[in-house]
Structure 1
Amino acid sequence: MAMARLRDYWPLLTARLTGAVRALLFWTLVYGYCGLCASIHLLKLLWSIGRGPGQTFQRLVRENPPACLNDPSLGTHCYVRIKDSGLRFHYVAAGERGKPLLLLLHGFPEFWYSWRYQLREFKSEYRVVALDLRGYGETDAPSHQESYKLDCIVVDIKDILDSLGYSKCVLIGHDWGGMIAWLIAICYPELVTKLVVINFPHPNVFTEYIFRHPSQLIKSGYYFFFQMPWFPEFMFTINDFKALKHLFTSQRTGIGKKGCKLTLEDLEAYVYVFSQPGALTGPINHFRNIFSCLPLKYHKVTTPTLLLWGERDAFMDVEMAEVTRIYVKSHFRLTILSEASHWLQQDQPDIVNKLIWTFLKENMRKNE
């Protein structure tokens, strides 16, 4: 009798043991790589202090925003307080009220200003809204790390649509905003008429690929480094936010390899926003919850989708773009732009805008 019961329970016990071992290996890898990344950054800090301690801890006080952040051609600064969380969100809106909504979700380390070219371009036919996500810019930043879980961010977008008086929108997301855009299309497909994602694969593709390909694991080292408390924020501030400037201007990762270059005023806009007291903690908290949220249980996308990808992306392997196709059960179009960086909508705005216009004006058929 005991042997018979053991045989009956053996598959369940095996499945549970296998799951426990996988979870142990997963979290060992996450925190082990987190420690490695932290060690590398600590060595960088010590090297910087050794070369010039005064310069390492130098930080300019930026009290007034650069003029480009108040450029009237970009739209109007607005605020909305949503019911579910009670948080106040900042956004910039262009185009007449009542026109179809085109909602723009930025990545990291960005804010609404990364959509300046699209705010000007699409306002002729859309109400264009470039949002500061939870914790970014002038949007409220809850203090608790758990407030930045992906399900909270998804509900934010749903509630913002309702607060703006819309039941659906064209949704465009870049980088981390692309991750959120995928999740909105998966969880609330009725809200999204068309989906445009820039330089971010389907979340499940990202999760599966990162642990199977060392090249992507290295490129995504910041995801693991950001699991550390306070130290990532501190590393961004040294040498007057040199790391932040480097992301947008270096030969390997920066904007302007081909197409538009980031002006000094544009760069100062980013540094101004993220140099404000506590301005980095909210954005980095988004990443501190990611490993507990992925992979997704539900992953099918039934919304017509355009995926745009800069081939010279220093943070994402281009191979993930093509694999994303298998998760989209509707019209799917992938366009890879050569010589373009991770910051695609700023790097090649004219081409990106043209591709988005073409996609928006098409009549889609399922399973194309």
Structure 2
Amino acid sequence: MAPPRPPRLVPALRALLYWSLVYGYCGRCASVHLLKLLWSIGKAPAQTFRRAARANPPACLNDPSLGTHCYVRIKDSGLRFHYVAAGERGRPLMLLLHGFPEFWYSWRHQLREFKSEYRVVALDLRGYGESDAPTHQESYKLDCLIADIKDVLDTLGYSKCVLIGHDWGGMIAWLISICYPEMIMKLVVINFPHPSVFTDFPDDSQANVFCFYSCLPLKHHMVTTPTLLLWGEEDAFMEAEMAEVTKTYVKNYFRLTVLSEGSHWLQQDQPDIVNRLIWAFLREERRE
């Protein structure tokens, strides 16, 4: 005879007790900090909300093992872009595009890893880090962001690159590969689907960002560059199904790798695995 099952009430009570303790502790901590904040505001409001300029950047941003800080001014837009470069000049270019709300430092693990064979450039996109930040909203339209990457590539003296993008930078990487396929040797995107996938998920709140796609012929959506899509299964921002649908928009070699314990910030959370997968993809394509 099978042993009797424990009453369902017991685990429910345990869960209730556990979460009561968790939320109770968090509530007490929040109350203490709120009281401290109110006291500080009442005592010296100007001091509480002062804006303090950091005299020196954190030491980690000046770590020489990450590369050299450089600037480039684009002739057409007049904007100055900041980037960190590692690896010898003359090697194939690997261009890294960060996501939101990040900057070049999110690629620190890749700067160290790939400099042995590439000229690795981690760019601050317009409006981020030490790159210029135009004040007008129109300056951040997608066509401006796409033009930035093309112009930076031209100014650096390269006609082609390995392009790697994460999150918002991944979206820009997709669009560059669609608009200028001749500029991309290989494409790696981390946790961002092909933009047209958003039209297949009409309930997604981000779909309206890509409504302009409905005005383009389907063939203009297609990516003809060898592509690697890396996806963290624990991504809290993107639906996992989007990664699978992406393959229908790539008319070339396509590989999707899903990391079961990976988050949205895959290249920082699991850099060793991500770097190994990128190396395998690049070398496999070379053999072919």
1:104 aligns with 2:96: yes
In structure 2, the partner of 1:200 is 192
In structure 1, the partner of 2:221 is 299
2:238 aligned residue (283, 298, 316):
316
In structure 2, the partner of 1:345 is 267
Deviations 1:245-295 (A, max 9, x none): xxxxxxxxxxxxxxxxxxxxxxxxxxxxxxxxxxxxxxxxxxxxx356445
Contact 2:228 / 2:281 at 8 angstroms: preserved in 1?
A: yes
Give 1:84 shift. 1.6
- Looking at structure 2, the residues matched to 291 and 308 of structure 1 have their Cα atoms a distance apart, in angstroms, of 21
Counterpart secondary structure, 1:157: helix
Counterpart secondary structure, 1:333: strand
- Looking at structure 2, the residues matched to 110 and 207 of structure 1 have their Cα atoms a distance apart, in angstroms, of 26
1:117 aligns with 2:109: yes
Classify 1:364/1:203 alpha carbon distance in 2 versus 1 (closer, same or farther; 3 Å): farther
Contact 1:101 / 1:166 at 8 angstroms: preserved in 2?
A: yes
What does residue range 24-103 of structure 1 map to in structure 2 within 5 Å?
A: 51=34, 54=38, 58=49, 61-63=52-54, 64-103=56-95
Classify 1:122/1:59 alpha carbon distance in 2 versus 1 (closer, same or farther; 3 Å): farther
Percent identity for Structure 1 against Structure 2: 75
Contact 1:330 / 1:365 at 8 angstroms: preserved in 2?
A: no
- Looking at structure 2, the residues matched to 110 and 139 of structure 1 have their Cα atoms a distance apart, in angstroms, of 12
Contact 1:150 / 1:293 at 8 angstroms: preserved in 2?
A: no
Contact 2:171 / 2:194 at 8 angstroms: preserved in 1?
A: yes
1:127 aligns with 2:49: no
- Looking at structure 1, the residues matched to 254 and 170 of structure 2 have their Cα atoms a distance apart, in angstroms, of 15
Contact 1:203 / 1:295 at 8 angstroms: preserved in 2?
A: no
Gap regions ≥5 residues in structure 2:
1-29, 42-47
2:168 aligned residue (176, 199, 207):
176
Counterpart AA for 1:302: T
Classify 1:291/1:185 alpha carbon distance in 2 versus 1 (closer, same or farther; 3 Å): closer
- Looking at structure 2, the residues matched to 358 and 296 of structure 1 have their Cα atoms a distance apart, in angstroms, of 37
Counterpart secondary structure, 2:162: strand
* Residue range with higher mean Cα deviation, 57-66 or 124-133: 57-66
Contact 2:194 / 2:246 at 8 angstroms: preserved in 1?
A: yes
Counterpart secondary structure, 1:171: strand
TM normalised by structure 1 equals: 0.63
Gap regions ≥5 residues in structure 1:
1-46, 225-289
2:281 aligned residue (348, 359, 368):
359
In structure 2, the partner of 1:331 is 253
- Count of residues in Structure 1 that have an aligned counterpart in Structure 2: 246
1:140 aligns with 2:62: no
Counterpart secondary structure, 1:91: strand
Deviations 1:39-73 (A, max 9, x none): xxxxxxxx99xx55647975673512110000000
Computing the radius of gyration from Cα coordinates, the structure with the larger value is 2
Contact 2:196 / 2:210 at 8 angstroms: preserved in 1?
A: no
Deviations 1:161-214 (A, max 9, x none): 1000000000000000000000000000000000000000000102431x23xx
